[in-house]
Amino acid sequence: MPILLARDILRQEPAHLDAFMAIKIERDTGLRHSAEEQFGLECPHCGIYAHMSPQSVPNFATLTEDKPKHCGMVYQCDACTAPVFLKFAVKNFGDDTIELHRNFSELERPKERFEFSYLPKQTALLFREALTCYSSNSFNAFASMCHRAAASAFESLGENGKLQAFDEVMAAQDIAEINDDSFEPIKKVIFGSGGVDDLPNLNRAQAGVLLEVLKDMFYQSFVRRGKLNRAIKVRRFFVQDGKGMKSSA
């Protein structure tokens, strides 16, 4: 039975969300997932994609009386048993059922990781702050910091390096099979020549795509190159050292 990852669900177009699972709180039985798929996401505590088990669910009678626009639930990570807090928007109040939207907010997000040591100093500083914004669900601040981090990277790469980075981003679009209209805000954040005020506002799904695309661009432009150069230097050292040993012998 497959585990549906929250990040994968959120990246789907809204029209496709109903294909996964309806989340309902029923008068007699409490929380119910209508589909057989398990519910999983990346735990903010252990960082593992794991199945989440409901631990604390709002009372049906209290929700019906107050009729809030949002409600919170506590899940337990099956990998580390830590509590995970999620906020859901209420879709509909029925006589015996309260239906929730599948789009939710993670009140605690796992910290995004990257090999910052390979990035130029200023780029690393800006991208660290960008990832902090993302983990805090501040997606437009995240976009602004990504724009600055990309601009800093392009200064280090030069014009030819920027063109190569553009090709990498276009390749990522093809691999992810994202249409041009959906990908346009991502390109504008990374390559836009205007100021911060000209950047598009991003929703959660777009911010997730921007995160993965920019991480891939930085990896291809800096991390991959740095690791390759380091590996070649090590190989050359041992080759030269081996020749020296033979000569001395």
CA distances from 5 to 61, 82, 159, 169, 182 (A): 30, 18, 38, 24, 21
Distance CA 246, CA 29 (A): 79
Element (H, E) at 100: strand 97-106
pLDDT at residue number 204: 87
pLDDT at residue number 21: 60
Distance CA 26, CA 18 (A): 19
Question: Measured over all CA atoms, what is the biggest interatomic distance in the chain, rounded to whole angstroms?
Answer: 91
> What does DSSP assign to residue 2?
P
Name the CA radius of gyration of the chain, rounded: 23
Cα–Cα nearest to 38, from 56, 58, 55, 54: 54
pLDDT tens-digit profile, the chain (249 residues) = 333 344 443 333 333 334 446 789 999 888 876 544 567 888 888 888 899 999 999 999 999 999 999 999 999 999 999 999 999 999 999 999 999 988 888 888 777 889 999 999 999 999 999 999 998 889 999 999 999 999 999 999 999 999 999 999 999 999 989 999 999 999 999 999 877 788 999 998 899 999 999 999 999 999 988 788 777 877 777 776 655 555 555
Distance CA 149, CA 159 (A): 16
pLDDT at residue number 242: 58
pLDDT at residue number 213: 95
pLDDT at residue number 1: 30
Distance CA 59, CA 186 (A): 41
Structure tokens, 19: 């294909």
Question: Is residue 209 within 8 Å of residue 186, measured between CB atoms?
Answer: yes
Give 20-73 as a 3 state SS string.
Answer: CCCEEEECCCEEEECCCCEEEEECCCCCCEEEEEEEECCCHHHHHHHCCCEEEE
